[in-house]
Structure 1
Amino acid sequence: MKKAVIVVSILILVYFMFVSNDNHKNKPSNVINKRSVVNKSIHKGIAMTLYDSTNNDQWFDETFPKIKNMGAELQVVTGVHVKDLKDSVPVNDPNVDEKLNRLFKKSKEYGVKVSMLKPHLMSPELGDSFDRGSYMPADINLFFSQWKNIILYYAKVSEENHVSFLSITCETTALTQNTYVPYWQEIINEVREKYPAVKITMAFKKEELDRELAYHEKKLIGISPFLDEISLNMYPKVKREYVHKKRIFPTDDIFVINSEQYGFIEGIRKAHRYFKKDILITETGSTYRSDSSKDYLNPIVLDKTKPHDYVDQQYWLQIVVSVLLQMKEIKGIYVWNVNSPFQILDAPPAKVLKKLYRE
C-alpha cells in the first residue's frame, strides 16, 4: 500500500513539473518571470520637458490621461539658458512660474504625481541639445552665485508641491569635477537648511558616475557623498541577441560596453555600495526609429531614412526597463521622453511601459 502511495505521489509531482515547464515555454519573450524579484517600492516615471509649446490646457488635457493610464509618475525638465559655452550668467525661463502653476494644477486634476524637478542648462539656439557637458563659465564664482539662486527657486517649488526629488544639475561634466565640490556643497547646505523636505540629486552621465567611483577608490573627495540619491542618465546599446531571451536578469553582458571604466550594472551596484545611497535612473529611453543593420539595439537613431516603426524601441524598453525594475539598488526610473523623437506615449512603447509599470 505504501509503495502505491509513493508511486502515485511521484506521478503527480512529474505531472506538475511538466505543466510548469510547458507554461514557461509559452511565456512571451523578455517578460519578467514571476520568480524574478521586482523592486516594488520603485518610483516608475516618465519625463517631459516644459516647453512653450506644452504650456496650454489642451496639451495637458490630451497628455496627462495617458500618463495616468500608464501608472507613471512624472519628471519635469525646465530650461535655464546661457548664451554660449562660456556665459557665466544662467537665466531661468522667464515664464517658468506660469508654466509650473499650470503643470501642478493639471497634475492634481488628473492625479499624476510630479516626483522630480530637473532644470537643464540650454541655449536659445540649441535648446536641450546644448553641449552642457563642455560648458565652462568664464567666471566660475559668478556662475555658481547665479545657479544657487536658481536652484533655491526650484527647491522652494519642490517643497511647496511635495515633489520627491530635485536634480541640481544634469550632465554638466566639466562642473562636477571634484575641484568644484565646495561650490556644490554650499548650494546643497542652503537647500537643506531652507527646504529640508527636498531630496537632492544630480543627473550624471555615465562618465561622471565612473569618475565618482574612481574618486572613491582613490580616496579622493567627490560630490556623491553629499547627495541624498545618486542619479544616472543611462542609454546603453543592447545586444540584439537578447531580444528573444525569455528570462533576463541584471548583467552587463546585455550591453555593448565601449570604453567605459565600469559596466552599467557594475557601476550602479558599486555606487550603491560605496556611497550607501539609492540610485535613480534619471533618464533612460530609446527613439522610435529602428536600425536593423546593427547587431545591437541603438537607443538613439536620428537617421530619417530609418523606419519610424517603434520596433527596436519596444525591444529596447522591454529589456532595459525590466532589468532595472529587478535591481534592489534602484529607487526610481524615469523613461525619456514624452516629446519627439522618443514619443513614449505613442501606442507601441506606451503598451510596453504600461505592462512593466503595472506588474
Structure 2
Amino acid sequence: MSTHIDTHPRTIDVALGTRSYPVWIGPGLLADHARWRTALRGRHALVISNTTVAPLYLDRVAEGLDGLHWSSFQLDDGETHKTFANVGRALEALAQLGATRDACVVALGGGVVGDLAGFSAACWMRGIDFIQMPTTLLAMVDSSVGGKTGVNLPAGKNLVGAFHQPRAVVADTSTLATLPDREYRAGLAEVVKGAAIGDPTFFAWLEQHAAALSARDEAPLIEAIARKVSYKAGVVARDETEQGERALLNLGHTFGHALETAGKYSLLLHGEGVAIGMLLAAQLSERLGLSEAADSARLHRLLAAVGLPTAIPVGLDPQQLLALMRLDKKNLAGTLRLILWRGIGRAEIVGGVDEKAVLAVLEAACR
C-alpha cells in the first residue's frame, strides 16, 4: 500500500496573510537552489548550524549562496547549547558580517539550531528574515513550522523566546538518512502527537504503518511528514500566537518539558520527553474521568511500536517534576492548565487541574 504514496516534493503553505510562507517537503531539496534562493531578499546571509550537521550539508547550502556576502556560525550539538550565550555569539557573527535589515539567517540543523537561529533573527535589528532548513524529523514536523523561537534557562525550557515566522521551510528528507536512530524515533513522537490531538483517522493510519515508519520507508515517511505539517499549518493559521487552539499542540509538553529539565537536558531527547508526557497526560485524563483506559492503551502500543520510551526514567522525583510543571507558560493564576484529551483525536485545554491527581500519576509512573 505504501508504495503507491507519492514521493515527489510537496508544498504546504502556512497561510498568515501577507506573511504566508511555503513548507517544501521531499528528497534533494537542499541542492534545489533555484527553489529556495528566491526566499533570500538581501545581500547578506548567516548560516547557523552545528558541528554535526555542518560537515554533512553546509557545502550543499553554500552552493546556493553564491554571489552573496555570507558566513557560517556553528554550535556544539545538543539541547544544552540552546542558551543566551550562544545567541550572543550568533549576534556577534551577524555584526561581523555587517548584516543589514534585509539580511537572512539560514537555520541548518535540528530544533535547537532552528529555535536559536530564529530567536537571533528576531533580535537582530528588531527582526530580519530567516529560513528553516530542518535536518531532523522532529524539526521537520514540528519546530521548523509556526514561528516559535527561543532559548532555555536553567529554570526551564523555552522560557524566553519570540514568535518570528520563517520566510520558507526547506525539509530535505534525504538528510534523514544520516540521522541517528534515536533522533529519528524521537521525531516520530511529534507525528504521533499531531494525530493524538485532532486526527483519529491519521492515528489509525500510523498504527497501520508503524513498522514501515520505523524502517524509514520513504513513501510513508513523506506522507506522514506532509500530514503532520498540513495539520500544524492549519492550526498556526488560525491561532498564530497561541491564544487558544494552538495550545493544543502542547499535548504532553508540560510533563515532557519537566522531564527534560529534571534530566538537565541530557537525559531525554525532546521527542522522548513528549512521548512519555503524552502517555502521562492520557493517564491523567483517564484518572479524571475524561477518557477511557482503551485510549491510553492504544497510545502506549503505538509509541512502543515506533520504539519510543513510555516510562519515566529511574531516579527522577515526582515532587520535583510537579514543581517544574508549575513553571509552564500555559498556567494561569497559579493553577495548572494542561492539555488533556477525551480520547484519541479529541484534545482540549483543561484549567485548574488538581495537583494531587497530577502527583498521583507521576508517583505511579515513577515506581
TM over 0.5: no
Rg bigger for which structure?
1
Whose relative contact order is higher, 1 or 2, with alpha carbons under 8 Å and at least 6 apart?
A: 1
> Which structure carries more helix by proportion?
2
TM-score by length of 2: 0.29
TM-score, structure 1 normalization: 0.29
